[in-house]
Amino acid sequence: MIKPLLKAAALLGASALVAQPALAAVPDAEVVSAGTAYIFNTLLFLIGGFLVMWMAAGFAMLEAGLVRAKNTSTQCLKNIGLYSIAGLMFWVIGYSIAYPGFAEGSLGLFGIAGFPYAMQGVSEADTGTGYSVASDWFFQMVFCATTASIVSGTVAERVKIVPFFIFVTVLTGIIYPVVVSWEWGGGYLDSVHGFSDFAGSTLVHSTGGWAALVGALIIGARAGRYGADGKINVFPASNIPLATLGTFILWLGWFGFNGASQLAMGTVGDASDVSKIFVNTNMAAAGGVVVAIILTQVLYKKADITMALNGALAGLVSITAEPLAPTVGQSILIGGIGGVIVVFTVPLLDKLKIDDVVGAIPVHLVAGIWGTLIVAWTGDATFVGQLVGVLLTAVWVSAASAVVWLALKYTIGVRPSEEDEMNGLDKAEIGVEAYPEFAR
């Protein structure tokens, strides 16, 4: 019985090999009409867009699961608020700054197309672009919201709602769009240095990471986090299953994040490339998880679930700058090193007394830098060009974020009182009382 099955399998394998040349013979060119390509391209933007929008839910669940119970409602409010603010700001001014249409010969550091962008006809069909303008705007907008979500996780549990939302307004309306204009908008980094960031390891993730790091430094650590004797007090997560769900939601959303950044699906080559991006994205995340589990088991004699979750996210961030060019093996390696970054950077931040509640700085900033630089190996970019992009982004985002955080700190104030912080922001900020047994 087994031999006939093996023979049938061998025959099937042989037929697949014989059929392969016929599939490969399909030309890598437009094989559908312009109208059909327009529909496919638009559909790619829309599907990718709602998958990235779903990442907002992933961030909310991840953060709600990793903060203490007395702060979960506030964290959820911040996440739905920041997503909405990002949408409004990107409509009013953000898109116009991100894609200003730099004049030929311009240095390409700052520009603005029109005000507001939506009044220029965001819902119009433009067959000249090959996709719906509205679908492009929507896809770009959800990326903007992702940047703000990164900041939310780092500065959780010790920032009041109003100053946080003001910071998000400036971040999504000005700070992030300027960075986007340098590369995706055809500005300075793209035209002068040949900088390459396929889906945003630097433009999205490191931008959010720098803003979060500056915020953590200016705002300070949560009350009681670091003792005077150098002791690091552990604040247990409120809901690990919820954080795990959030991670899986983010993992799913990342297929839209990276896959739809191909920006076209109207040819055989584009469809094939999107498929390869999916595979590389998935395998990089898997590499990050496995490496994080192995490392924590070796270093601490016990595997760490939060390191595994962040290992997945670091693997995803690491591959985002170039998810198409690497082989599957290279993708696993790139994602695996993302896992290494998490395991060693999280305790380093604690030694430096930088309080990052969810580990967003190692995941989005440090892994984002790594993913951007490694494009010089896997993609069509130079190490110097990539480094310039990393450094320019660091200087701009850090300086602009510092101005905003400091202005808020010395005007309306950023932190709640120590008593309110100890009682929990749910009670102090939105009037929700945590269950007493969980209000720690």
Assigned domain for 319 exists = yes
Give the mean pLDDT of 407-421. Answer: 96
Q: Which helix (H) or strand (E) holds 310?
A: helix 305-320
pLDDT at 64: 97
In a domain, 353, yes or no: yes
Residue with tokens 């395991």: 343
What's CA 102's distance to the chain center, in Å?
A: 26
Asked if residue 91 lies in contact with residue 116, where contact means CB atoms within 8 angstroms, the answer is yes
Query: Does 10 map to a domain?
Result: no
Task: Quote the domain boundaries for residue 266.
Answer: 34-438
For the stretch 355-372, pLDDT in tens is 999 999 999 999 999 999
Residue in the block written with tokens 């939310």:
152
The answer as to whether 104 is a domain residue is: yes
Predicted pLDDT of residue 21: 39
Q: Could you tell me if residue 149 is inside a domain? A: yes
Give the chain's domain count. Answer: 1
Average pLDDT over residues 60-77: 97
Q: Is residue 110 a contact partner of residue 192, using CB atoms and an 8 Å limit? A: no
Report, as an integer, the average pLDDT of 79-106.
Answer: 93
pTM of the model: 0.90
Q: What is the largest CA-CA distance in the chain?
A: 80
Contact between residue 72 and residue 64 where contact means Cβ atoms under 8 Å apart: yes
Distance between CA atoms of 18 and 167, rounded to whole angstroms?
59
Percent of the chain with pLDDT over 90: 81
* Helix, coil or strand: residue 434: coil
What's the mean pLDDT in 143-156? 97
Nearest to 155 by CA among 215, 209, 205: 215
Q: What is the pLDDT of residue 9?
A: 37
CB 289 within 8 A of CB 229: no
3-state secondary structure of 34: helix
Q: CB under 8 Å to 171, separation ≥6 — which residues?
A: 147, 148, 151, 211, 401, 404
Please report how many Cα atoms fall inside a 13 Å half-sphere around the Cα of residue 305, on the Cβ side: 13
For 363, phi then psi, to 5°, come to: -70, -50
Phi, psi (rounded to 5 degrees) for 248: -65, -35
Residues 287, 330 contacting (CB under 8 angstroms): no
pLDDT, residue 51, reads: 97
Q: How far apart are CA 371 and CA 390, in angstroms?
A: 11
Bridge partners, 30 (sequence order): 267
For tokens 């510092």, what's the residue? 402
Residue 18 lies in a domain: no
Q: When comparing pLDDT for 266 and 85, which is higher? A: 85
pLDDT range class, residue 33, cuts 50, 70, 90:
confident
**If we measure between CA atoms, which residue out of 78, 395, 365, 49 comes closest to residue 200?**
365
Retrieve residue 173's tokens. 């309306």
Whether residue 102 lies inside any domain: the answer is: yes
E strands present in 124-193? none
Strand, helix or coil for residue 290:
helix
| In a domain? residue 362 | yes
Closest by Cα among 155, 270, 289 to 222: 155
Around Cβ 227, how many Cβ atoms within 10 Å?
9
Place of tokens 């500005």: 187
Tokens 């005000």 correspond to 115
Give the CATH number, domain containing residue 291. 1.10.3430.10
